[in-house]
Amino acid sequence: MQSYYRGYPRRRRWNGSRTIGFNGGRRMPIDVHSDDEAYLITAAVPGLSAEEVKVEVLDDLVTMSGEITLEENGGSQKILSELRHSFYRQVRLPEAVNADEIEAKVEKGLLTVRIPKADEARPKKIEVKAE
């Protein structure tokens, strides 16, 4: 079934549970990467300072949130408002993490969170000896 917007068909992709693609501004866009040592989450937080962004980790659940404070123009009438005043995003990581060593920073509109994996989640290298 195809939906129409102003006479034009709207394309949708289906992954079994929800429509995917551009998130329409509902959630902050993120990238999540992993290596042997840590997870790296990068999120777009344009115009926000480090004080306006909050990162929390509970077990394997990472929560990133914040609030955008905009000045109201006293006598002006709002015609269109697409700027969100708050954002919230959660990511569940597949393995245990070391919450005591998490590092987070905001630079040039990007939030970068480095979350080291717990020792039991890291690959173990075993030396093979020859006889």
CATH number at residue 115: 2.60.40.790
Whether 37 maps to a domain, the answer reads yes
Which residue's structure tokens are 């020792």? 119
| pLDDT score at 20 | 33
Q: Which long-range contacts (CB under 8 A, 24 or more apart) does 96-100 make?
A: 96/59, 96/60, 96/120, 96/121, 97/39, 97/57, 97/60, 97/121, 99/57
Whether 52 maps to a domain, the answer reads yes
Chain segment 76-126, per-residue pLDDT in tens: 787 887 766 678 889 999 888 888 899 999 999 899 999 998 887 777 788
Q: Which domain holds residue 40?
A: 27-71+82-119
Tokens representing 42 are: 């990068």
Whether 20 maps to a domain, the answer reads no
Within 8 A by CB and 6+ apart from 9, the residues are 2, 3
Whether 113 maps to a domain, the answer reads yes
Whether 19 maps to a domain, the answer reads no
Whether 12 maps to a domain, the answer reads no
Whether 127 maps to a domain, the answer reads no
Task: State the total domains in the chain.
Answer: 1
Residue 39 pLDDT class (50, 70, 90 cuts)? very high
Whether 6 maps to a domain, the answer reads no
Q: From the CA atom positions of the chain, what is the Rg in Å?
A: 21
d(CA 91, CA 32): 9
Say how far residue 50 (Cα) sits from the centre of its chain.
Answer: 15
